[in-house]
Amino acid sequence: MEDNYLTMDLLRFTTAGSVDDGKSTLIGRLLYDSKSIFEDQMEAIEKASKQKGEENVNLALLTDGLRAEREQGITIDVAYRYFATPKRKFIIADTPGHIEYTRNMVTGASTANLAIILVDARNGIVEQTRRHSFIASLLGIDHIVYCVNKMDLVNYSQQTFSSIKEELKTFSSKLRTKDISFIPISALKGDNVVNRGKNMEWYEGSTLLHTLENIHIASDRNLIDCRFPVQYVIRPQNDKFHDYRGYAGRIEGGVFKKGDQVMVLPSGFSSKIKSIDTFNGEIEEAYSPMSVALTLEDDIDISRGDMIVRKNNSPSPEQNIDVMLCWLSTTPLQPGGKYAIKHTSKDARCMIKNILYKVDINTLHRIEEDKKIEANDIARVSLRITQPLFIDSYSSNKATGSIIIIDEATNNTVGAGMII
């Protein structure tokens, strides 16, 4: 074995589809054909499928990890799956497709580079296709792959695929996501998933796996605007490192170099990067998403929640922000209510100042008459925060452009917001 594992990269993707679009079959197919399902796992699900009197091996049993899911035959919660090819390692956030589980798709999409959206070749675009596309776009996913599935049930018709593709193109032109591809597949038979198969020779594009392996994700990161939220202050307090103060954190944007002029927020003090330290030694530069420790030339009071940035390129300190808020709790959002809020490494409190409108996630229309925000609703909301947050818009930086809202009585995470 060569050392190609040192250069493999990581792609995180999420899968969305309606209940019967064959999502589990597709994941099963990807895992099976890439030899990521093991014999004992296969035996276990064969046995379980038989016990239930099912004719085919139910690949959904692989991802339905909870007893309740297996009993009810539905996926309740996000499950994570892993596989690798010699080129890339993949993390799949497998999310349920039912309407009541929008929050799960939002969760899965929040860390994904790419979304696979399944479309049934027999039905074309349905309500859920729009919803899944909208959520993927809202969550800033840079790449969407539409898999037109069940091509075997429409005689592998090129015309059916073309017309669905045209329809999807028109619809998706309204989305923020710009890199969109379309692949005709049969997850059940395996056509164009890992192997090409012989049934759709008219299709000249890549298979799904080839697409996943080659899609260019390196330029998705923001390497321009330097953002370093301080997570933790390292103070060894031993003889060797007596006066050492290292600011530990993960770089959430840009490239930091030794010697760079930086500014610390909120104090506004300036200094220079003295060193960028890691366990393996000092490094000359560091970039997102590396976890490092920075030391500065000057002794400045810096603590968790502060942010180190470059002079002349800093996020704006804001106490009033507008967010697209996805509500995650079964207890409705309280207009005027107070909640805890988390933004990067900063904790604060906030008040719901105004609900501007709710979004119909099937049509993208604004609903201004009904402003009751319940679980799985998405709305534009104005927040007043107890102290300034150093924010960017979500579209320019996901890490400094996102917040979560927490119910102070239950401590539950009840809302996820993308800063506009």
Partner 1 sequence: MKNYNLSHLEELESESIYVIREVAAQFERPVLLFSGGKDSIVCYHLARKAFYPSSVPFPLMHVDTGHNFDELYQFRDQLMKDTNGRLIIASVQNSIDKGKVVEEKGINASRNKLQTTTLLDAIEENKFDCAMGGARRDEEKARAKERFFSHRDDFGQWDPKNQRPELWNIFNGKKHFGEHFRVFPISNWTEMDVWQYIKKENIAIPTLYLSHNRDCFERDGVIMAKTDFVQTK
Partner 2 sequence: MQVRFRTIGDATCTGAVLSSAKNIDEIIQEVSATRITERGGRSDDKRSEAAMEDRKKEGYF
Binding site for partner 2 (CB under 8 A): 1, 38-41, 44, 48, 65-67, 70
By beta-carbon proximity to partner 1, the closer residue of 107 and 271 is: 107
**Judged by CB, which is closer to partner 1: 55, or 284?**
284
CB of 4 to partner 2, least distance (A): 12
CB of 1 to partner 1, least distance (A): 10
The answer to whether 177 and 145 are in contact (CB under 8 A) is no
Could you give phi then psi for residue 153, rounded to 5 degrees? -85, -5
- Measured distance CA(116)–CA(130) in Å, rounded: 13
**What residues numbered 122-161 form the site for partner 1, per CB under 8 A?**
none
Q: Which does 227 bind (CB under 5 to 8 A by kind): partner 2, partner 1, none?
A: none
Residue 331 within binding range of partner 1, rule CB under 8 A: no
* One-letter identity of residue 373: I
Closest contact distance (angstroms) between CB of 194 and partner 2 is 17
Q: Which amino acid is located at 382 in the chain?
A: S
Size of the site for partner 1 (CB under 8 A): 73
State the binding partner of 39 from partner 1, partner 2, none, CB within 5 to 8 A by kind. partner 2
DSSP 104-133: HHHHHHHT-SEEEEEEETTT-S-HHHHHHH
Of residues 47, 50, 80, 331, which one binds partner 1 by CB under 8 A? 80
Q: How far is the CB of 32 from partner 1 (least distance, A)?
A: 16
Residues 191-220 that bind partner 1 (CB under 8 A): 218
Helix (H) or strand (E) holding 63: helix 60-63
Q: Given the complex with partner 2, which of 33 and 360 has the nearer CB atom?
A: 33
DSSP letter, residue 315? P
404 near partner 1, rule: CB under 8 A: yes
Q: Which long-range contacts (CB under 8 A, 24 or more apart) does 406-409 make?
A: 406/339, 406/340, 406/341, 406/342, 407/329, 407/331, 407/339, 407/340, 408/338, 408/339, 408/340, 408/349
Which of partner 1, partner 2, none lies near 231, with the C-beta cut-off 5 to 8 A by kind? partner 1
Q: Choose among 5, 13, 280, 332: nearest CA to 145.
A: 13
The only residue of 42, 57, 74, 76 in contact with partner 1, by rule CB under 8 A: 76
Residue 236 interacting with partner 1 (CB under 8 A):
yes
Q: CB 1 → partner 2: shortest distance, Å?
A: 6
Structure tokens at 363: 């049509």
Q: How far apart, in Å, do the first and last CA atoms of the chain sit?
A: 48
Q: What is the largest distance, in Å, between two alpha-carbon atoms of the chain? A: 75
H or E segment and range at residue 39: helix 39-51
Per-residue string for binding with partner 1, 244-263, x by CB under 8 A?
x-x-xxx----x--------
Q: Which of 42, 74, 125, 340 binds partner 1 (CB under 8 A)?
A: 340
| Contact by Cβ (8 Å): 181, 151 | no
Give the one entry of partner 2, partner 1, none that residue 208 binds, where binding means its C-beta sits below a cut-off of 5 to 8 angstroms depending on kind.
none
Q: Which of 223, 224, 356, 367 binds partner 1 (CB under 8 A)?
A: 223
Single residue of 18, 24, 107, 271 touching partner 1 by CB under 8 A? 107
How far, in whole angstroms, is CA 299 from its chain's centroid?
37
Kindly state the smallest distance separating residue 48's Cβ from partner 2, in Å: 7
